[in-house]
Amino acid sequence: MKSKRRKKELEALERDVDDLVRLAPHDEKASQELERLRREVAELKREFYTHMSAWQRLQLARHPQRPYTLDLIPRLFEGFREIQGDRAFANDPAIVCGMAGFHGKPVMIVGHQKGHDTVQRVARNFGQAKPEGYRKALRAMNLAAKFRRPIFVFIDTPGAYPGVDAEERGQAEAIARNLREMVRLPVPILVTVTGEGGSGGALAVAIGDRIIMLENAVYSVISPEGCASIMWHDAAKAELAAEALKITAPDLLELKLIDEIVSEPEGGAHLDHDATARLLDEPLTRALAEVSQFSERDLIANRYEKFRRMGECFTPTPPAS
């Protein structure tokens, strides 16, 4: 609650400065004073967004105007051609797949798509993929492997769809198959968590050689609300669970579960999709150059070892008696 009040105070202060700009006389002294106020507001905003809690970052990660896969594709890639359907049951619009060019190199793109309004979100099932979505993704990735195309993956999902129909069509099997097959793919895989990285629904397309996260994205085995319901039988304790789960990019980088954090435009990626894409371009270009140096054998071996190391537990050395 304290952070919400502080954010509202900052927004009110910004409005006051804007009002002063319109009302103040156009003289040098007034202009200097307004410039000083602008600098102070900018510094307060920087401090606020730098020290946000895990729960606050989660709210930004879930913002309906975050850049999703279809927002980033035209800003980062050229000549995108979508691939639809799993050739077994249906096309799942919660996952977008297709071929494109990245700085002149042919690549494959796989990513979640939520939608920016209610109509889009319902059509995309809120970014929650069903088995046919994961099978479509694997079909596209196998095609990329066949033609030696690097794979770019963009993650933003609360998790796999938990409905009865998805379970009937083999949700768990589809996710497990993707995990196994992605480890074996002989092409570079670059994963970017742009919003929510929710549970197995995210991991099913996130076995990569490099894992990048946007500054305010989150990545977790379970949602804070779900964790709170299990641990304390009280979803109202979700904010406490968010801190305990270590879901933010800095936490995950410290735990060596991701490789790099990419800064967002001031205030969050939802405010400027163009700037977000520009900030992502250099890390993706660099990561692709790095992993492209490995032979297919080394690429697979390194990827396998990367995920084997995750979750290692170390027993502290007992103090000398």
Give the domain CATH number at 225. Answer: 3.90.226.10
What is the predicted pLDDT for the residue at 94?
96
For residue 221, being part of any structural domain is answered with yes
Same domain, 3 and 126: no
Count the residues in the chain.
Answer: 321
Residue 58 in any domain: the answer is no
Closest alpha carbon to 186 in 147, 155, 152: 147
Is the sign of the CA dihedral 163, 167, 170, 174 positive or negative?
Answer: positive
Q: Are residues 11 and 115 in the same domain?
A: no
Q: Is the pLDDT of residue 1 over 60?
A: no
Q: Which residues contact 84 (CB under 8 A, 6 or more apart)?
A: 91, 97, 136
Q: Is 315 a domain residue?
A: no
Does residue 94 sit in the same domain as residue 19?
Answer: no
Is a pLDDT exceeding 90 seen at residue 39? no
Same domain, residue pair 174 and 259: yes
Question: 113 and 12: one domain?
Answer: no
Residues 231 and 188 in one domain: yes
In whole angstroms, what is the distance from residue 199 CA to residue 103 CA?
32
pLDDT tens digit string along 127-150? 999 999 999 999 999 999 999 999
Q: In angstroms, rounded to a whole number, what is the distance separating the alpha carbons of residues 149 and 106? A: 6
Q: Does residue 26 have a pLDDT over 70? A: no
Q: What is the pLDDT of residue 311?
A: 72
Same domain assignment for residues 157 and 216 = yes
Which residues are CB-neighbours of 9 under 8 A, at least 6 positions away?
Answer: none
Task: Give the model's pLDDT for residue 235.
Answer: 84
C-alpha–C-alpha distance, residues 28 and 277, integer Å: 38
For residue 139 the two structure tokens come to: 């079909």
Residue 110 lies in a domain: yes
Instruction: Mark whether 16 and 117 lie in a shared domain.
Output: no
- The Cα–Cα gap between 193 and 174 comes to 21
Q: Are residues 41 and 70 in the same domain?
A: no
Looking at the structure of the chain, the number of domains it has is 2
pLDDT for residue 47: 61
- Which pLDDT value is given to residue 310? 85
Average pLDDT over residues 280-287: 97
Domain shared by 39 and 101, yes or no: no
Is the confidence at residue 164, as pLDDT, over 50?
Answer: yes
Determine the pLDDT at residue 2. Answer: 46
What average pLDDT does range 65-81 have in this prediction? 96
Using DSSP, state whether 189 is helix, strand or coil: strand
Over 60: is that where the pLDDT of 160 sits? yes
pLDDT at 52: 82
- Per-residue confidence at 19, pLDDT binned at 50, 70, 90? low
Q: For 251-273, what is the mean pLDDT? A: 92
Whole-model pTM: value is 0.83
How far is the C-alpha of 227 from the C-alpha of 216, rounded, in Å?
Answer: 20
Q: Is residue 9 part of a domain?
A: yes
Is residue 56 assigned to a domain? Answer: no
Same domain for 68 and 192, yes or no, is yes
Please tell me whether residues 17 and 135 are part of one structural domain.
no
Domain annotation covers residue 55:
no
State the pLDDT confidence band at 266, using cuts at 50, 70 and 90.
confident
Provide mean pLDDT across the span 248-261: 93
**In the predicted model, what is the mean pLDDT of the chain?**
88
Answer whether residue 53 is part of any domain.
no
Domain with 19 in it: 1-23+30-45
